[in-house]
Amino acid sequence: MKRLSILFLFIFSNIYGDAQNVTGTWQGYFTSNHVVGRTGLGFTTKYYFTLELKQSYKAVWGAYNTTDSSNLSVGCFCKVSGILPKKQTSIFELYNEGVISHDPKISVGVCEALNRLFFHYVAIDNNEYLIGKWYTGENAAVLNNGASGTFILQHVSVTNKNNVDQYFPKLDKLLNKGTTTDTLALKTVPLIIDPASSLNIEEKEIINAIMGKKNN
């Protein structure tokens, strides 16, 4: 029995020892596309973007702040959550679960406009990034077109400044959704990180536009 327990522990460590996890603080930039009147012409505004996440198996939750201030004062401070796909992936989505607080000069409606965040988890120059697009409620069902803006975030810390659990009174239900009924031996790491070579042309354009970085 003792040998079986040691073997069981060895299998567990091999399965989860090198697991990718998005828990921690992510910082970078967020863009918003604006269309002027009926002309179809528009412009893009860039904001500072901080995202604090926690992950427990397939459950991911946290809070983000978007602001135009370099001192990272509160602009739109909102909570997000989601469940990772059933299959092992580097792509996932989080949904806005409500506004926690906001700058009085910004209406709640503006903060609520961001409905869905679409992430690609990648490694570039030995750093971890989340690159993607965001959608409003009206275009949340659109997968490839209709995004209202883009973002790029770098993993800057494995800890969070805020206790994001406090924003989720029904966190236990989210955690239950994120668990699996598979036996331990059949479990797989739910989230993987893609190499920079996996970036598509559009993602490279996001990096170039937001960070001014050249990618081949």
Residue 44: give its domain's CATH number: 2.40.160
Rama region for 65: left / alpha / beta (φ>0; ψ in -120 to 50; rest): beta
Domain limits for position 31: 20-211
Q: How many CA atoms lie within 13 A of 58 on its CB side?
A: 18
pLDDT of residue 3: 45
pLDDT of residue 143: 47
Structural domain contains residue 97: yes
Structural domain contains residue 191: yes
Structural domain contains residue 105: yes
Contacts of 11 (CB under 8 A, 6+ apart): 184, 185
pLDDT of residue 101: 96
Q: How many distinct structural domains can be found in the chain?
A: 1
The Cα 66–Cα 6 span in angstroms is: 47
The full DSSP string for the chain is -HHHHHHHHHHHHHHHTT-----EEEEEEEEEEEE-TTT--EEEEEEEEEEEEEEETTEEEEEEEEES-TT---SEEEEEEEE--SS-BSEEEEEEEEEEEE-TTS-HHHHHTEEEEEEEEEEETTEEEEEEEEEESTTTT-SSS---EEEEEEEEESS-SS-GGGG-TTHHHHHHHT---S-GGG---SB--EEGGG--HHHHHHHHHHH-----
Structural domain contains residue 9: no
Structural domain contains residue 4: no
Structural domain contains residue 40: yes
Structural domain contains residue 162: yes
Structural domain contains residue 1: no
Weakly modelled stretches of the chain, pLDDT under 50: 1-18, 36-37, 39, 143-144, 185-186, 215-216
* Residue type, position 168, single letter: F
pLDDT of residue 26: 98
